[in-house]
Amino acid sequence: AEASSFWSSALRDSVVRATTYSFGSVCLGSLLVAIVQALRALEHRTRNNDDLQILSCIIQCILSCIQGIIEELNRWAYVYVGLYGFSYLEAGRNVMQLFEAKGWTSIITDDLADNVLFMMALAIGLASGLVGLILGYMDQDLLAGIGLEEGSAGPAFFIGLLSGFLFATIVLSVVGSAVNTVIVCYAEDPAAFQMNHPELSSQMRAAWTQAWPGVV
């Protein structure tokens, strides 16, 4: 009920909490998640390379050493940090316990929101690249200021593509965070959602029941 309005006290308190005394937890979580993701990506790339087997073994050893806390390093933890002011590791542990208690591990594993947002960002990047391509054809000296005296169409396309994709990714990350918050809050207290927004709650329940029968 507290979050039923656009700028309610609950939302205001969460924003203040996430940007002040819980900001360190958010930064720590971003650093740890980035390190783990980088190690996993590097291990995946070196796994089948015979010349990098030693590096692959070292990375696997590092990941195995921190295996106990890897599950706590997740993007869902940011929701609990903002809502309740938990430390990042404590929030990660609590939110995973919530999903396990609800039997929602398959839902968070199969979450397709990130894929949809990535495709949207890529589409925006391609549209921006197309604009750059058109401008490059119209003005061959468009990029003369950076040393490209002629043939600006190709570079203009890639500059537009990269710029559009990066800006779209940043903006759409807010949407992704909102989706994560909805999932966590719905898992924690579906009754409150049903009480305050019965129509949306019914639609969400019907859609999720169709996608994951017996889970929701």
Output DSSP code: residue 212: S
- For residue range 37-96, what is the model confidence (pLDDT) as tens digits? 788 778 777 777 777 778 888 877 877 776 666 666 677 888 888 888 888 888 888 888
Return the C-alpha torsion angle 143, 144, 146, 152, nearest 10: 40
**Which whole number is the average pLDDT over 108-118?**
77
CA-nearest of 77, 64, 82 to 33 is 77
Question: What residues contact residue 46 under an 8 Å CB cut-off, 6+ apart?
Answer: 52, 53, 55, 56, 59
CA 127, CA 58: separation in Å to the nearest integer? 42
Reported as half-sphere exposure (CB side, CA atoms, 13 A), residue 45 has a value of 6
pTM above 0.75, yes or no: no
Model pLDDT for residues 121-177, shown as the tens digit of each residue: 999 999 999 988 888 777 766 666 666 666 667 778 888 899 999 999 999 988 888
